[in-house]
Structure 1
């Protein structure tokens, strides 16, 4: 336990030191995920730019049944869990962004609504037309831009990366289960979520900026938020603290969504959640990672740890329609990582492979579940704003500390591989 506490203190100290360094470095106007989604170009932003994107998908599994003869939740398609194969409008977002012209070009805004069928528009009273992003950024203080509202929290690379340029149809199991938070009322017995997935967003205030440090771009973000999901007020007196720092070397002048660069980053999220049966529980997430892209080769890797509020899935792997309920392991821990490689065979075609693993429920041996997925596929860039993704996911899950004949392993043995195809366009 002392080693764990010391490790956490070291991580926080490193992040604080990096942020302090950032505050005394020289300011630049480079685009990265923090800057790209939180600010507008200085002196060239439009008053109101309407934009959006649509992603239509087809996914399929073999619909292997549980040992009980009932359908397995993990072989059905999210978010409805009503079929093992089918078409879906995964994302359909439209919004407006710009600067507060002609009054003040240093005031930026970002508004986006979701009309697709996903975790934002399902759960609780959610539905089509949910606001996913609504923020105002003040750029008046050198080295300390201030963003207020609902927006992506600084954290895992998969979450910060803009959806239209994400390299896969589905997130890694690690990111989906321990970062993309599901809101439940109690630790057990939940028939469904009480609201939208977090979709990696929160409501709060963030101080951030990017700086030039001897040819490298140093970025930082400090956010203070509710930690209670989208489009609603907080449900307790506690707030979440988010910390992020990155160092990036660009290989060209292009600093957009597919910039050629090498980046290392670290982040931490810390807060509390309130459950009706257990009261207030800690929730902490931390990560370290790197990305690389030189125009032909692409690589990324990230390691994440989680302490508290671990998503437990459905009881027996079943569906709510068959009587299964969802749980949260309030005092458990988890860890995982992914390795991602891509190669541009020709400028318009990338072949790719990704390996990700999640060790969930590691504190109690009988709770532990291990998920591994190897994804192979490709993406074809029809044009600068239209992309076709084709993925084949080889999925495995097990309870490593239980006998192979145990009911838990018999259930997890029924997890299918998955085909995922997506066509996306930005407008």
Structure 2
């Protein structure tokens, strides 16, 4: 039930591209997958961050010790280490190399050195290659991209880091799309958990891919006056890039979006964009292949970025079947039941989860922006009758100060609730859900 701190910062390659290609700033396929000829060879960004929660404890009974243990749930601790409720950290630190060989061949590589779930492999810090791909633009209407690619999916999984309005991601994307990767076939079988789940310890967790997978993608876009249509279709491998030998399961992903562009002034264009996307993967667990399916639809309205009274409205709905993850509630050193101290993975296709987020933003001045978001995530609704369902609701209030189009300071407060339907009031699920804290987070995005 932890809300994991995010990890996957957006593809910072947009830093200099946004400046030179303002009119296409909402076309993530162009911004992230194709380089302009005048891009700097080296660039990057760092994100110093502060997270603070009350650190409320939950009192859970240990039948072996015949006593209660008071401990702080992961939901009230800062990831990826989950050892403090308030801390300062460098959440993301990325160094990028990008350029072009000729007008038809471009390349991009990025290393991630921050402290997040992407660099936490088997419980140990490990910097990783975040991106690494080559784009061939010889065929009109079908550009070819090969390497480690940001798979087509949800808007907040596609966009560049500058467009983030909050330090903490929506829970629905964080849990449904930022799926932790696990060792497929460990030395000994995973323990069986409740309702057909598998119990997986942190030593068998291979981090997350930050929405990126090795593969091949076809993408392009077409403009007709103010109208634009863009698409991306990818065939890849689902698994951990960092662990190498775990990337052996097929992944299919596609996204189609249409836009009406009002104007191209400023680092983000003014437009209305709607999109639909789909993902299907075939991960394995203990020599058995499963199906993981994700799909979503959404729209966004942007008008006057970094202009007084500039505004934004965004909505996205997404759902998933199979391979639903329920993160561990507590640390494993506490002597609690395995179901509370290990991640519970529900691999069967019958398991479902769905949610949405809606957010709005308003520039009070050229530099100051206020934002409001509501995030809803209903996990394992198919297990409601047996008490396995959890409903996450979060209101987020945020304030941003934009120093430049590519450097800003964000602060936000997150009002969080977790509901556990059909569970006994004194059960661990109910006790942990009632203990969830609100959260304050502050972050600077500094590019170079």
TM-score range, shorter chain: 0.7 to 0.9
In structure 2, the partner of 1:24 is none
Indicate whether 1:86 and 2:87 are aligned.
Answer: yes
CA contact (8 A) 1:92 1:116 kept: yes
Q: Which moved more, 1:116-125 or 1:174-183?
A: 116-125
Tell me the CA shift for residue 353 of structure 1: 0.6
Tell me the CA shift for residue 234 of structure 1: 5.7
In structure 2, the partner of 1:328 is 345
- Distance, in Å, in 2 between the alignment partners of 1:192 and 1:307 is 26
Tell me the CA shift for residue 171 of structure 1: 0.7
CA contact (8 A) 1:375 1:393 kept: yes
In structure 1, the partner of 2:35 is 40
Tell me the CA shift for residue 421 of structure 1: 0.4
Tell me the CA shift for residue 84 of structure 1: 0.4
Indicate whether 1:364 and 2:364 are aligned.
Answer: no
CA contact (8 A) 1:184 1:192 kept: no
RMSD (CA atoms): 1.8
CA contact (8 A) 2:35 2:106 kept: yes
In structure 2, the partner of 1:259 is 269
Deviation digits for residues 35-77 of structure 1 (CA, Å, limit 9, x no counterpart)? 1000013xx345x621100100000110001122012111000
CA contact (8 A) 1:126 1:195 kept: no
Q: 1:144 to 1:237 in 2, by over 3 A?
A: same
CA contact (8 A) 1:244 1:265 kept: yes
- Distance, in Å, in 1 between the alignment partners of 2:116 and 2:420 is 29
CA contact (8 A) 2:123 2:203 kept: no
In structure 2, the partner of 1:338 is 357
Q: How does 1:21-420 map to 2 (within 5 A)?
A: 30-31=24-25, 32-41=27-36, 44-46=37-39, 49-68=41-60, 69-100=70-101, 104-124=102-122, 127-185=125-183, 186=190, 187-233=198-244, 235=246, 238-254=249-265, 256=267, 258-276=268-286, 279-295=288-304, 296-314=310-328, 317-323=329-335, 324-331=341-348, 332-365=351-384, 366-420=387-441
Three-state SS of the structure 1 residue aligned to 2:181 is coil
- Distance, in Å, in 1 between the alignment partners of 2:75 and 2:127 is 27
- Distance, in Å, in 2 between the alignment partners of 1:143 and 1:255 is 27
- Distance, in Å, in 2 between the alignment partners of 1:308 and 1:300 is 27
- Distance, in Å, in 1 between the alignment partners of 2:44 and 2:247 is 34
CA contact (8 A) 2:250 2:283 kept: no
CA contact (8 A) 2:199 2:345 kept: yes
Q: Which runs of 5+ in 1 are unaligned?
A: 1-28
Three-state SS of the structure 2 residue aligned to 1:54 is strand
Deviation digits for residues 212-243 of structure 1 (CA, Å, limit 9, x no counterpart)? 14531100010001011223446476411101
Equivalences, count: 389
- Distance, in Å, in 1 between the alignment partners of 2:295 and 2:245 is 23
Q: Which moved more, 1:247-256 or 1:358-367?
A: 247-256
- Distance, in Å, in 1 between the alignment partners of 2:107 and 2:344 is 37
Q: Which moved more, 1:259-268 or 1:211-220?
A: 211-220
- Distance, in Å, in 2 between the alignment partners of 1:139 and 1:229 is 28
Q: Which moved more, 1:246-255 or 1:169-178?
A: 246-255
Tell me the CA shift for residue 288 of structure 1: 0.2
- Distance, in Å, in 1 between the alignment partners of 2:43 and 2:115 is 19
TM-score, normalised on structure 2?
A: 0.83
Three-state SS of the structure 2 residue aligned to 1:158 is helix
- Distance, in Å, in 2 between the alignment partners of 1:421 and 1:386 is 14
Q: 1:36 to 1:193 in 2, by over 3 A?
A: farther
CA contact (8 A) 1:184 1:190 kept: no
Three-state SS of the structure 2 residue aligned to 1:239 is strand
Three-state SS of the structure 2 residue aligned to 1:363 is helix
CA contact (8 A) 2:238 2:248 kept: no
- Distance, in Å, in 2 between the alignment partners of 1:320 and 1:191 is 9
- Distance, in Å, in 2 between the alignment partners of 1:190 and 1:167 is 33
CA contact (8 A) 1:117 1:128 kept: no
TM-score, normalised on structure 1?
A: 0.87
